[in-house]
Structure 1
Amino acid sequence: MEQDTAARTPLTLLGLGAMGTALARAWLAAGHPLTVWNRTAARAAPVAADGARVAGTAAEAVAASGLVVTCLLDDASVRQALADADLTGRDLVNLTTSTPGQARALADWAHQRGARLLDGGIMAVPPMIGVASSGGYVFYSGSRDLFEVHRGVLAVPADTRYVGADPGFAALHDVALLSAMTGMFAGVAHAFALIRREEIPPKDFAPLLEGWLTGMAPFVHLAAAQLASGDYVTGTGSNLAMMVAANETLLTTAREQGVSTELLTPYLDLMARRLADGHAAESDTGVIDLLLR
């Protein structure tokens, strides 16, 4: 019954970049009546050929459906697109990448104009959208009741993960994971730089690097447990004193290989500060506390 109801639900989509177009095609393929709008009208042609109705203005597109999804460039673009629209009684789902603060402010802005808002953080790239086995998903935050009303429709392009009533939580989860990914990419870049001038084929080194990162990934569970308990010692294998002592080898090797240490030193400096503060027996979980301002 939920699937049948979801399949009949019309919706509007504002924004037809690469991600917006992927979302549109997923909803159209699932049989949803879809109205679309894009600032550059020509981008609507491919989804129009697939059956989407193209609105001439964003306000017209909003008027066409009770459920309105935005997937635009940034927070300012969302406000600009919706500026002239009558939002009374509309349910807005914002899939535009934003900050937690922007998401909270947008929820208040939408409420003042008579709409309800769910914020979303897409953890996927466009080719993963509409592919059940891709592993892609979307974080959602805001009213749980509103999420449940539209859950079936929202689950069509990608899996859904509701993360809380605070409208900023989807963006916060999104950015937190992306930040971790960025740090990982920095480590990968440094590792490849170390072998770059040697007769070590990157394609042979890559599986070793992948396996090592995968093996180290469970540290996140130790860190989470230590943060919850406040005990940064229990469960620790290599303590901070051992790691800081070993860090000099990392720096010396980089210098020997003619590689900049600029991707490593910010974190290593924090480890050294934590050690100097008298936390030799801890893991490096305590570094997290140094980041809080």
Structure 2
Amino acid sequence: MTPDDSVQVSVLGLGAMGTALAGALAGALGGELAGRTMINLTTTSPAQSRELAAWAERAGVAYLDGGIMATPSMIGRPGSSILYSGSADVFHECRPLLDVWGTSAYFGEDAGLASLYDLALLAGMYVMFAGFMHGAAMVAPAGVTAGEFATRAAPWLAAMTSTFDGLAEVVDGGDYTVDGQQSLKFSSLDDILAASSDQGIGTEAVAMVQRLIHRQIDAGHGEEGFARIIESIRQPG
């Protein structure tokens, strides 16, 4: 198996890719795919990635699933990274090709893990973007441009990412009473919500976090740390 024997797939959504693969299997390429390698870089859910891996095994195709953590202009440049899971043999033997596209990271034989990491990281990104947009909307009525707000928001949010390791340690340890955490009662977002309403903007982005906080407070955990909101996420109401 070599990179020259591989077929790379990256299309818009599983529906388009499923159609393309079905056509290939039914047509002249069907026989040619057997015994070859497929590297899927289309964004799919973990379940879809595992389904594709199962299809590939039945078809005699060695399968590697990928999640692209980069914009198109970043591919092949510093900062581009691609997450992989599925066949370890494919990953290691095609590594010279994969590393051309970006920094490669392999997460194991479970074909759904790369997708799971990809979508989890994107979830954090989109919620952060929503928070930035909320803040920009808050200050806009005061005549502050989004660009001006960004000059303050970027370093502040970057600094806050340094707390991730500490939050993760608390979550992994399961003790939300650890000293140094801000308590859930102290973390109430009432002032932010009131100021947002006064500015005439929507409160959905912040209200979502407020609901996660209050579910834990209502369950009697108000004196515990902010990291406890993960329990609201783990156990949907």
* 1:102 is aligned to 2:48: yes
After superposition, give the CA deviation of every residue in 1:229-250 in whole Å (9 maximum; x if it has no partner).
1112225431111112xx1111
Matches within 5 A, 1:156-171: 156-171=100-115
CA distance in 1, matches of 2:94, 2:122: 26
Offset, 1:73: 1.3
Instruction: Name 1:80's counterpart in structure 2.
Output: 19
Offset, 1:187: 0.4
Q: Secondary structure at the match of 2:39?
A: strand
Instruction: Name 1:71's counterpart in structure 2.
Output: 10
| Aligned AA (1:77) | A
Offset, 1:93: 0.5
Offset, 1:155: 0.8
Q: 1:117 is matched with which residue: 51, 59, 63?
A: 63
Q: 2:202 is matched with which residue: 260, 270, 273?
A: 260
Offset, 1:251: 1.1
| Aligned AA (2:105) | R
* 1:91 is aligned to 2:91: no
Instruction: Name 1:188's counterpart in structure 2.
Output: 132
Tell me the percent identity.
35
| Aligned AA (1:73) | L
CA distance in 1, matches of 2:16, 2:144: 47
After superposition, give the CA deviation of every residue in 1:137-191 in whole Å (9 maximum; x if it has no partner).
1000012232111111111121111122210011111100111111001101110
Residues 127, 262 of structure 1: alpha-carbon distance in 2 compared, 3 angstrom cutoff:
same
Asked whether the equivalents of residues 181 and 226 of structure 2 are also in contact (C-alpha less than 8 Å), the reply is no
| Aligned AA (1:225) | E
Q: Secondary structure at the match of 1:240?
A: coil
Unaligned runs of 5+ in 1: 1-5, 11-65
Instruction: Name 2:192's counterpart in structure 1.
Output: 250
With 249-258 and 95-104 compared, the bigger mean Cα shift is at 249-258
CA distance in 2, matches of 1:256, 1:100: 42
Instruction: Name 2:181's counterpart in structure 1.
Output: 237
Asked whether the equivalents of residues 69 and 83 of structure 2 are also in contact (C-alpha less than 8 Å), the reply is yes
Q: 2:86 is matched with which residue: 123, 134, 142?
A: 142
Residues 277, 241 of structure 1: alpha-carbon distance in 2 compared, 3 angstrom cutoff:
same
Offset, 1:130: 1.8
Instruction: Name 1:33's counterpart in structure 2.
Output: none
Q: 2:156 is matched with which residue: 205, 212, 225?
A: 212
CA distance in 1, matches of 2:10, 2:203: 38
Asked whether the equivalents of residues 236 and 282 of structure 1 are also in contact (C-alpha less than 8 Å), the reply is no
* Pairs aligned (count): 228
Residues 100, 236 of structure 1: alpha-carbon distance in 2 compared, 3 angstrom cutoff:
farther
* Greater helix share, structure number: 2
CA-atom RMSD in angstroms = 1.7
Runs of 4 or more, structure 1, over 6 Å off, are none
- TM norm structure 2: 0.90
| Aligned AA (2:99) | A
| Aligned AA (1:280) | G
Asked whether the equivalents of residues 118 and 141 of structure 1 are also in contact (C-alpha less than 8 Å), the reply is yes
Q: Secondary structure at the match of 2:17?
A: helix
